[in-house]
Chains A and B, each alone.
Chain A
Amino acid sequence: GQQVMQIPQYQHVQEGEDFTTYCNSSTTLSNIQWYKQRPGGHPVFLIQLVKSGEVKKQKRLTFQFGEAKKNSSLHITATQTTDVGTYFCAGRQGGSEKLVFGKGTKLTVNP
């Protein structure tokens, strides 16, 4: 079945450092979504990418979708303690109704 691989599994940074998490799929994706889950909470939608090569920004967060629509990344500039949580990517293979999640990257930030 469809798999979405996400790395790294854990990332610990000092406040102010940058952070990046990567997602890779073995098959072309129709779209990819990113979610954030705070400790003890539920996943919350951040953004969706649909077009090949698409780049979107939300303040200090930059999201990219690869040209082949098989990979994506989330980059956070100058992390803050409020960025702590687990970041998930989730993608759909073209035509599929099923959204498959990566295993997530757990980010901790040392103040």
Chain B
Amino acid sequence: NAGVTQTPKFQVLKTGQSMTLQCAQDMNHEYMSWYRQDPGMGLRLIHYSVGAGITDQGEVPNGYNVSRSTTEDFPLRLLSAAPSQTSVYFCASTEDRVYSPLHFGNGTRLTVT
């Protein structure tokens, strides 16, 4: 099992560009989420999904879009990149909503210039 796979590992964007961060898991987990990590800020929840076709906002959803058409995939879209979105992005999945641990991908380091 590969677990949670994120691509790309690194990305540089110019302000105003759009892109999609990919996340896939092969553990048949219903619950998937996206976090961003900034120095001194810990991990902040962007969006999450409790199953295919269902998504909801986290703490910092502005500027990001998600969809969940399959159980395996949960892409994160940046609609118009801004320097404030420079961060490390982690995708995570878990077996159930409350009591199972999160399995994280290796992260995507995004720089917006």
Q: Which A residues contact B (CB, under 8 angstroms)?
A: 1, 6, 9, 30-31, 33, 35, 41-45, 48, 50, 88, 90, 92, 97-104
Interface set, chain B 63-110, CB cutoff 8 A to A: 90, 97-99, 101-107
Report the bound CA distance from A45 to B3 in whole Å.
14
> Cβ of B42 and Cβ of A104 under 8 Å apart?
yes
Q: Say which residue of B35, B48, B59 sits within 8 Å of A97 (CB atoms).
A: B48
- Which of chain A's residues has its CB closest to B106's CB? A42
> Cβ of B50 and Cβ of A97 under 8 Å apart?
yes
> Cβ of A92 and Cβ of B98 under 8 Å apart?
yes
Q: Which residues of B contact A35 (CB under 8 A)?
A: 102
Q: Which residues of B contact A42 (CB under 8 A)?
A: 90, 104-107
**How many A-B Cβ pairs are below 8 Å?**
56
> Cβ of A43 and Cβ of B102 under 8 Å apart?
yes
Report the bound CA distance from A30 to B48 in whole Å.
19
Q: Say which residue of B50, B59, B99, B103 sits within 8 Å of A1 (CB atoms).
A: B59
Report the bound CA distance from A99 to B90 in whole Å.
14
Q: Which B residues contact A (CB, under 8 angstroms)?
A: 31, 33, 35, 40-45, 48, 50, 56, 58-59, 90, 97-99, 101-107
Q: Which residues of A contact B33 (CB under 8 A)?
A: 99
> Cβ of A50 and Cβ of B99 under 8 Å apart?
yes
Tell me the minimal C-beta distance from B44 to chain A in angstroms: 7
Q: Which residues of A contact B97 (CB under 8 A)?
A: 97
> Cβ of A45 and Cβ of B102 under 8 Å apart?
yes
- Which of chain B's residues has its CB closest to A43's CB? B104
Q: Say which residue of B48, B101, B103, B106 sits within 8 Å of A98 (CB atoms).
A: B48
* CB pairs A–B below 8 angstroms (5 shown): A6-B42, A43-B102, A88-B43, A97-B48, A102-B42
Report the bound CA distance from A9 to B39 in whole Å.
11
Report the bound CA distance from A35 to B42 in whole Å.
12
